[in-house]
Structure 1
Amino acid sequence: MSSLDPITMATQLATYDVQPFQMRYQMQADKYQSQITALGKVEAALREFRTAVTNMNSSSSNIIKNSANVSQDGFLSATANASALTGSYQIFVEQVATAHQMKTDMPADLDATTEIPATGTLDFTINGETVTIDLATVSADAGGTATMADLVSAINNDPNNPGVNATLVRSNGQTHFMLSSTETGVENTINVSATGTNAAWFEDAFTNSTDISTPQDAVIWLGGQGGLKLESSSNTFTGVIDGVDITVSKAQTAGEQPLTLNIGPDQEATKEQVNVFIDAYNTLMSTMDEYTGIGGEDQARGVLASDPTLRSIESQLTSIVRGEYNGMRLSEVGIEIDRSGKMTLDATKFEEAQKNNSAALEAMFNGDGNLLDSIDTMVDPFLKSTTGLFKTRKDSLQQNISRIDDKQATLERKYDMAYSRYLAQFTQMNTLMTQMNQTMSMFG
């Protein structure tokens, strides 16, 4: 009579006791985890779709793109947003805006280590803002001697600096103390004075300063010289023409012909915007289709088939994109949805809509409460970081996995108890068999 291996027998029987439960629990956990993963994929696609919508539905970016072209390069550039109206404008650039730069009349032997007065103040005023530098606090070392280099640092790093940069410039073996306005235009002229220093050379240096660059405003003429004169402290004219920003970079010579600025629809850029919208929509729908398929002979059932969250998204989004906005539908401007739910663009039809009624097309997409607003409003409850429906669904599935983990832990305890019981039984049986074999051997 052969002996038994108690450990092997106990392991096998204890495993048989719990194995069916382990397999069922693992299948459930895998199912929940695959659903969490799939929901994460759909959520990411929905966020990308929302980002695409947001990027073309802001104060600075619309679905409709306009272009601004200048007849001659080098003098000005322009940008046109969706509200810009088609038109042609004559513009003459008389002068560009410049910043104020001045050189102070410091001694010829000035350098970065030249000591400055330890008392008095240095006052700067630019565009109505004034800052006072207390010379007693300029030294980099408390109680030490302050130098020109320390003064440059104190001016540039003052938290209340109204817009002036101080610099030490070296030329032909001489160091010059210069001040420059950080902004262009006459209103940003630097006014500076030193008082109470008991050092005439220092105070006179600012009194007898020399302009290196005189501040001036940019000046342009709409309609050519003699037309409408426009001035700006910066080189950018915003809103002079509705929806158009003009930036000048070089002045023309008196008597030259004005430049021609043409504003019109940019069909390629607009079509590119529309294609971004279409691609993001199709990516979202195909991602949902991937996980919600009912399956068939050659295809497995999707892990989120019949999922209420995804059914709600698809139903609401389909209703929105098939709806009417500003008296128009997407299908009327060449954006169709085929039988499979894929969105396509009829470029010719869309270009005709943009050419014939650009304002209405823009209003359909970007008008208050219209298409893009409606999409943003619809997706918001799904994507909230703390109370969004995706987070709620994933949290619920994660709780299911946690409960299964608890069941698995209970099952492991059941296994350990069964193993101990079987091990004791087979150990006792093995002992009896060994004793019987010994007794039988006594009888030959």
Structure 2
Amino acid sequence: MEKLSGSAKPTRIRYRMLALVFVNVVINYLDRANLSVAASALGKDLTLSSAELGWIFSAFGWTYALLQIPGGLIADRFGPRVLYAFCLITWSISTVCQGFARGFASLFSLRLATGAFEAPSYPINNRIVTSWFPDNERASSIALYVSGQFIGLAFLTPVLTAIQYYAGWKGLFVTTGLVGLIWGVVWYLFYRDPLDHPGVNAAELDHIEQGGGLFRQKEKNAGQGQVWQWRNLKQVFSSRTLWGVYIGQFSVNATLWFFLTWFPTYLVKYRGLDFIKSGYLASVPFLAACAGLLLSGFISDNLVKKGWSVGTARKAPIIAGLLLSVSIIGANYTNDTALIIFFLALAFFGSGMALISWVFVSILSPKHLIGLTGGVFNFMGNLASIVVPIVIGYLAKEGDFKPALVFIGALGLVGASSYIFLVGKIERVVTRDSQPTLIRE
């Protein structure tokens, strides 16, 4: 194991690990969004109403959101290598089984199972990035792995559409599930933590640790007691700053979950577009969201490197993005397909900009409770995965989708207001088991 530093040039193993996380995120979101592609045909075959479809769209979110806190605690206790492999394989099995659903109850139950097994994934992602990357590379690394959800959907939505066209919605679920099963084995074979990776040298470990990477945190936490304590949960729920980012994340995810659930149905059923054509048009907003996310991450990190305050460098792109997401309402005022896609893409571009918000988990959470804080953060944000699909289903049940887009736009404004008025000084939350680390705002 190459760990002698001297004047050795740092290795760049952290980017290989980030690439593995990127693929995990692509698969993660394929198995969330495959239902949206299948929805039109599936709804007809299973005779589902608009309201019932909204409930099925939300099923993933019930277990995914409610298990975020346990998922965060699990991420603090178990290594990413084994835990992520377990999650990938189990949620992929439930995805395959969705291809054999026979009605509302079975499909709803299987979507609940998928959400449950995916629950620890983003707390694990955040733990990996916090371990492998220094502070001044954190926002861009988060942007890169989160971009997997947009790049994957942008380029693979037409593929998913084609699979359904030729193999039916049953074949779509089976195919996407098998991909995840295979990748779960690949992840286990190739991922390692920083101190366990045979390719990383001491120079890279020094670069990570001196920059604020927390790969030794597991060692430091030894003997401090369990994180499964009510006082720790109370701590991450009692900070006004954390509540500001929780509310903001709900708003960001509101736009995201519209695109992950109702968007293809909106194009086909409410805008009258051809199914195959809608698959290609659906990729445009996802590409826009990816561009917004990457732009925001690299701008934010560059501002930090140039000496800007952390508060300004991290919050400004998020606020700007949330304000841009309000532009989704513009689609209500045109019947031109190009303009509809423009307004939707602009809104998703803004939502993508705001998704670097995961960086606040790394810089605000107590050092020994990163997984728990990430779980609470993702729980609050993913309440949108429950609320938004159901509310849209009822708002659109009379055949008019305009109130639904107003609803999404209004939530973007709420999120921007939360970052402006609730998120104040950026400093790490302190518990009895952690020492204060002030970060200049």
Bigger Rg over Cα: 1
Normalised to the residue count of structure 2, the TM-score between the two structures is 0.22
Structure richer in strand, relative to its length: 1
**More helix, by proportion:** 2
